[in-house]
Amino acid sequence: MSDRELEVFLQENSAGKWFCGFLLSEDTPDHTVFSRARKKIGTNLLSKLFENLRDQLKAQGYMNEVFTFVDASHLIAKASLWEERDEALKQKYEKLNNEILPKVAHDKQARIGCKGKNKYWYGYKKHVSVDMQSGMINKVAVTPANVTDAQGLKNVCPSQGAIYADKVLCCTCQADRSS
């Protein structure tokens, strides 16, 4: 969920309020609280907290990696490609592509990605593995949009069990596990 979606969820969902320790009549935080907390914690510590929670769930038998679903989806960067295009033209670049974008874009890590033959976006790709027994997320990795699903798999591939994925990923699972 985005920070704004989480804000609305906590306002409208009694179970969500209860899980987070709020009374039904109590006001819940707005979206800025979540983004400030995440920035204060930092991405490295947040990642370690997630791994620790996942390891505890595995130790208690709530997750087991017998069957894992793996997939990727796009994340569109907040950018104004018109401004990047204008800057590229100003610097006398003839086209705007993944080689030129880091030189003119505000977001130096975002790239142009493609799904199929016609669906292009500028931003990132989110790779996720989900434990199929519990439905809980096992691992998440975010890469530039031009990283293929098969390349991103090594970041979320489970260490054991069967993997369910689209046919692009299925061919690479065994190779990634052996490395």
State which H helix or E strand residue 32 sits in. Answer: helix 31-41
| pTM (whole model) above 0.75 | no
pLDDT average, residue stretch 14-39? 91
Q: How far apart are CA 161 and CA 177, in angstroms?
A: 11
Q: Are 121 and 76 in contact (CB under 8 A)?
A: yes
Q: Residue 156 contacts by C-beta under 8 Å, 6 or more apart in sequence?
A: 70, 127, 128, 129, 138, 139, 140, 141
pLDDT average, residue stretch 15-44? 91
14 confidence band (pLDDT: 50, 70, 90)? very high
Radius of gyration of the chain measured on its C-alpha atoms: 20
pLDDT given at position 107: 83
pLDDT given at position 172: 46
Q: Where do the H-state alpha helices sit in 42-117? A: 43-59, 81-90, 101-104
pLDDT average, residue stretch 29-38? 91
pLDDT digits (tens, 9 = 90+) for 96-150: 788 888 888 888 888 999 887 888 888 999 999 999 999 999 999 999 999 988 8
Q: Are 87 and 136 in contact (CB under 8 A)?
A: no
pLDDT given at position 175: 46
Domain layout of the chain by residue ranges: 42-178
Cα 92 from chain centre: 34
168 confidence band (pLDDT: 50, 70, 90)? low
Which of 88, 68, 87 minimizes the C-alpha distance to 169?
68
Do you know the residue count of the chain? 179
